[in-house]
Chains A and B, each alone.
Chain A
Amino acid sequence: MANHEPTASERFINGIIPENPVYRQLLGLCPVLAVTAALKPAITMAGATAFVLICANIIVSSIRHLLKPHLRILVFTLTIATFVTIADRFLAAFLPNMSDVLGPYVPLIIVNCLIISRCEACSSKQGLLPSLGDAIGMSLGFTLALASIAGVRELLGKGQLFEFTILPESIWNGWGIMILPPGAFLTMGLLLGLVEWVSPMFKRGKEEA
């Protein structure tokens, strides 16, 4: 890793599982916990974050030679803030229900550490193609994480997935706590443990093969 710069495809694969932004790097936890009471807002949130991440990475990567070191964080945040404003207005215009549900968490994408850390770690150092691959990979990883947490919470909390009833009330009395704030922390903690537990098995399997 230190000697050669990772290529676009490496970056892309990296983002999804090996360096998953949520489970591996614990970045951007604020929306991960806040909007995952159900799958629909979680997917919308992931889409908005992906849009902002990809656009910001493209811009930062193309102006990376002009950046002054002491001003770069400010430039990153202003770039991100511009795209977040676009995403927020878009959601308010075309998906007003989702915009109401997500509320302040759309503007809070600005301070999502995931995007700033990708700008800092990848796109301010590498060219357009690797940073594009990195952005898409990272957003897929983020979507995966959000969807897994939201799926568990919605299924256990209401017995539904995407608002379709999977477990009817006669079988499953929803655990109300799962769609409340404590359920978010609990699900996230347990899934984190699960990922920690499963991933060494995969690694061992790869080494043996």
Chain B
Amino acid sequence: MDTFITLILIFVSAAVINNFVLYYFVGICPFLGVSRRVDTAFGMGCAVTFVISIASFLSWVFTFFILRPGAPLATWVWQAFGGDPGTVVDLTIMSYIMYIFVIASSVQFVEMYVRKFFPPLYKAFGVFLPLITTNCAILFACLEILKQVTGDTPWGLHHALVFAIGGGVGFTIAISLMAGLREELDMCDVPKTLKGPGIALIVASILAMAFMGFTGVEKGIATSINSFRAETKAPMEPKIEVLTHPVQIPAQPNPSDMPADAAETDQGSSQEPAGEPESEPNPTENSEKGAEQP
């Protein structure tokens, strides 16, 4: 499949279809804890998106060059210290420790950097940054990248980044929606036993049901993009010509049969081409040519 379509599909499926919070249940703690007001929830979402992108970038680099089986850097070190060149170096067992280290240190550095250079931004979401270290969403993104990089069709850096940003956007959407709902819930008369997290979880269940409605959207997007491309780029792409020619070619070699029928049909239904322009454009063209030729 085309890279562009793959990227769009990765983004859409991470953001809405397989939403991090409502489908994979990662990042539930902030989802319930920081979703009382919309502005703080949105700030948390932005902070998570920011950190998840950085952590995914780093974890892709580490996975690709060090951790995956046969990774270049690890192999080079192995051979530099006199290891057997035929051995496939596999450090995937180190991956969890590596990722936790990467996440913790990148959160630390992001916090220091933002505090030093963007004080307003730090005021906006600085308080959430330390919390993010233990946000499952980020480790989940890293693990998904590990799975895909060691998989059959390895992800490139662009796939990993798009996946991470999509996940962050999905998290922001979910937590902002939830905060909006909870602001309204404050005015409602909730049964005493369900107050607080109980009713929040039930609301989350309804949200999850709503997000289940997106299932299968990715197939629709893929087909619509493909058909759009087929329409616009039909003359340029050789594959599509191969598909369409065999339909047209048989009509052209026997014009001798066509003119009589075509002339009749033309006379009989002269308004038809306006009604069905797409279904039979080629036969009418051929018949017109055939009619002109004699």
Are A34 and B25 in contact (CB-based, < 8 A)?
yes
Are B134 and A111 in contact (CB-based, < 8 A)?
yes
Q: Which chain B residues in 238-275 approach chain A with CB under 8 Å?
A: none
Is A95 part of the binding interface, using a Cβ–Cβ cutoff of 8 Å? no
Are A104 and B140 in contact (CB-based, < 8 A)?
yes
Task: State the total of A-B contacts with C-beta under 8 angstroms.
Answer: 111
A168–B204 alpha-carbon span in the complex (Å):
30
Within the complex, the shortest CB–CB distance from A34 to chain B, in Å, comes to 4
Segment among A5-13, A76-84, A127-135, A140-148 that sits at the interface with chain B: A76-84
Within the complex, the shortest CB–CB distance from A162 to chain B, in Å, comes to 23
Q: Mark B168-207, 1 if CB is under 8 A from A, else 0.
A: 0000000000000000000000010110011111101110
Q: Mark A155-192, 1 if CB is under 8 A from B, else 0.
A: 00000000000000000000001001111111011101
Give the total of A residues in contact with B, Cβ under 8 Å.
40
| B-chain residues with CB within 8 Å of residue A84 when the two chains form the complex | 96
Is A110 part of the binding interface, using a Cβ–Cβ cutoff of 8 Å? yes
Partner of A34, one of B24, B202, B212: B24
| A-chain residues with CB within 8 Å of residue B199 when the two chains form the complex | 189
Interchain Cβ contacts under 8 Å between A and B, 24 examples: A29-B25, A30-B29, A34-B26, A73-B104, A78-B97, A84-B96, A85-B93, A104-B144, A107-B139, A110-B139, A113-B29, A113-B134, A180-B212, A182-B208, A184-B25, A185-B204, A186-B205, A188-B201, A189-B202, A192-B197, A193-B191, A193-B198, A196-B193, A196-B194
For the A-B complex with A73-B133, A111-B136, A192-B198 known, give 10 more contacts whose Cβ atoms are closer than 8 Å.
A30-B27, A78-B100, A78-B101, A81-B97, A107-B96, A113-B29, A181-B25, A182-B206, A186-B202, A193-B198
Closest 9 pairs between A and B when the two form their complex, measured CB to CB: A189-B201, A185-B205, A186-B205, A189-B202, A182-B208, A197-B193, A196-B193, A34-B25, A33-B25
